[in-house]
Amino acid sequence: MKKVETNSTVTVNYTGRLEDGSIFDSSTVEGREPLKATLGQGQLIKGFESGLQEMTVGDKKTVEIEAEEAYGTYNKFLVQEVEKTQMPGEVEVGMQLEAQTQVGPVQFLVKEVKEETVVLDANHPLAGQKLIFDLEVVDIE
């Protein structure tokens, strides 16, 4: 029976949860398709990819992925406070913004709006979090 390995193109159903049980993403929601990706191409987070290794079609398992193998640890240096005058208009807590930098576009989350400044966070929203995925291999090419 064919097993998932590096360079396999795999189709997988998944549900991603945080340690508190809240679901942050799932391919099994109505209108969504299973995830299809080629392993070893940097398309998936490291822990998700290694969790799929050696699985066969129909296999199901749950993997727990530490932050370092997911979206990394939370980096306080990616949080900046900038003048409101540098914002593209009115901003609210929770808004996603994109800015061009020397290394290309960077996504920011508005964490706090103060009287004169805005606190922006460039960490991935799941940085610093342990992720738990329920995996089911649907197909291997």
User: Which CATH number covers residue 52?
Assistant: 3.10.50.40
Residue 4 domain-assigned (yes or no): no
Same domain, 67 and 15: yes
What is the model's pLDDT at position 102? 86
Q: E strands along 48-116, which residues?
A: 60-65, 79-83, 96-101, 104-113
3-state SS class at 21: coil
What is the extent of the structural domain holding 18? Answer: 9-72+126-140
What is the model's pLDDT at position 100? 83
What is the model's pLDDT at position 101? 82
Mean pLDDT for the chain? 94
User: Based on the structure, what is the number of domains in the chain?
Assistant: 2
Low-confidence residues of the chain, pLDDT below 50?
A: none
3-state SS class at 13: strand
pLDDT digits (tens, 9 = 90+) for 54-87: 999 999 999 999 999 999 999 999 999 999 999 9
